[in-house]
Structure 1
């Protein structure tokens, strides 16, 4: 019989490529991961891995087994959801991941509504960038998460996860008010305020500028949109900000709407859509989410 925990390790290895990366992501030691994968090979009776230098490549049998692992893990999520639905009332913890503006704008009213409907359910929120969500969901560290994607940075497909659309919001070019109106192309020579490299917000700005025919010259790297707008207001650069990040901008900032959007989605492990806690959380979000509109 194949061990489900070892199948999870094989699935992570297929995505990360090295034993060390799997160990770091799942807080194991590399030797423990190697031992568990060796045990899985013994259970399977065929070679699942080939080592090429420091990387590990899955054999055809290993690749096929990952496909079966995805199906098995999805069915286990469905089983857990059905068992939870058979219980009376929602209890226990619901581990939620969310990006900063969602934590500030979307979660407070949704959590209040959730507490009113299901007082025995204990939501636990962790703020993180959407780029970190997928491995945390796959590893079981999170149950559900709010993620976003941009027109220029679509979400990468992940067979282990499902998403439901929640809302979308417009994007704005933030420039000093003294500079007058501007387009992206007008700002090719300006200093830019970008998010931290490796985040989706950073990739969005870089790709949007590239689509306008230039590479942005980064002066500052700042993740908090309120701070970004404060720096724009004193002439420290220009930036792209979403609607939720542009609420109550300081004086001295001009916000010009752009023909691009940021979309927010609810993400969870495939097979878990029917889990009553996740369904209740999604319903609370949808009942409380603001309707965004472009600024005049």
Structure 2
């Protein structure tokens, strides 16, 4: 019979890639983790780790057992959570991270509901991109994420991270009313004339390594157009401020269309570009606060994206 603590040590090494990082996550010394792994190897009858430079990596047997360990740990966490829910109060810290548009649109109502229903819960929020937030989730620095996944670049997550799609929405090309394509309702990504107009347009976009940036590159490069990205701005509303002055175009998800500055038109694309907002958490760390927050966010989703007529960036 394998010890759950030893399996947890193996799973941590598999997730974090080193004994030292696993030890920090488990609040143990590297020596103690090494001792647990040595005992687990004797129990398993197979070598589970092998040297790799100044670190270690899992053998084939180690990867097989680590996969089972992740599932067992998740099942144990689920059992513990079910027991904790019996008469337990939702309280303590809840550390949330998310992309700006999702934080702005989904969290205010959710946080207000949590404050009313669970006054002893103390949520904190930090915004950022998935590329930066996911490592912090895996390292135990955050409990719950709101991240984005675009159709052209589906979100990849580490082993042990659970995803739940909260909302799916269309992505538009935002143009100034003075742009040559502004009189259109749709941009045809297969039409040579439309692509030429986009090639002659400067772009405002999220920084490299983010889903919006990679989506813009992939969408246009696969059609022979190299986008002229001049403005690297993480906030969609800041991008739209440049669009309104006919300085740039941008890719704008539906939930970021309002409040939009005047003189901006939103054009759908054919084929359609889409974005999902997903919640992400560690399966083995789903706590009553995480579940309460997921429930509150789900209640906020119904009113998350207000109706904005196509081509109209003005409020009202």
Q: What TM-score comes out, normalization by structure 1 length? A: 0.84
Match of 1:230 in 2: 241
* Contact residue 170 and residue 294 of structure 1 kept, 8 A: no
Match of 1:141 in 2: 141
Per the TM alignment, residue 60 of structure 1 is displaced from its structure 2 partner at its CA by: 1.2
Work out the CA distance in 2 between the residues paired with 1:204 and 1:9.
32
- 1:3-56 Cα offsets, whole Å, 9 max, x none, are 35522431224xx5x678x58x9699xxx65x5664344222343333455674
Work out the CA distance in 1 between the residues paired with 2:228 and 2:25.
36
SS in 2 for 1:65: helix
* Contact residue 181 and residue 254 of structure 1 kept, 8 A: no
- 1:272–1:19 distance in 2 versus 1, CA, 3 Å: closer
Q: 5 Å matches for 1:172-191?
A: 172-181=172-181, 183=187, 185=195, 186-191=197-202
Per the TM alignment, residue 78 of structure 1 is displaced from its structure 2 partner at its CA by: 1.0
1:266 aligns with 2:279: yes
Work out the CA distance in 1 between the residues paired with 2:48 and 2:256.
47
Match of 1:295 in 2: 309
Per the TM alignment, residue 196 of structure 1 is displaced from its structure 2 partner at its CA by: 1.0
Q: 5 Å matches for 1:116-265?
A: 116-156=116-156, 158-181=158-181, 183=187, 185=195, 186-258=197-269, 259-265=272-278
* Contact residue 177 and residue 253 of structure 1 kept, 8 A: yes
Per the TM alignment, residue 120 of structure 1 is displaced from its structure 2 partner at its CA by: 1.8
Consecutive unaligned residues of structure 1, counting only runs of 5 or more, are none
Which of 5, 9, 15 is matched with 1:12 structurally? 15
Which of 278, 289, 298 is matched with 1:286 structurally? 298
Per the TM alignment, residue 99 of structure 1 is displaced from its structure 2 partner at its CA by: 1.2
Bigger Cα Rg: 2
- 1:140–1:157 distance in 2 versus 1, CA, 3 Å: closer
- 1:150-204 Cα offsets, whole Å, 9 max, x none, are 1111122544022222112221111222113263523023222221111122112
SS in 1 for 2:267: strand
* Contact residue 255 and residue 304 of structure 2 kept, 8 A: no
How many pairs does the alignment contain? 288
- 1:27–1:120 distance in 2 versus 1, CA, 3 Å: closer
SS in 1 for 2:96: strand
Work out the CA distance in 1 between the residues paired with 2:159 and 2:100.
26
Work out the CA distance in 1 between the residues paired with 2:84 and 2:237.
40
Q: What TM-score comes out, normalization by structure 2 length? A: 0.79
1:74 aligns with 2:87: no
- 1:84–1:126 distance in 2 versus 1, CA, 3 Å: farther
- 1:227–1:9 distance in 2 versus 1, CA, 3 Å: same
Q: Which runs of 4+ in 1 moved over 6 A?
A: none
SS in 1 for 2:35: helix
Match of 2:84 in 1: 84
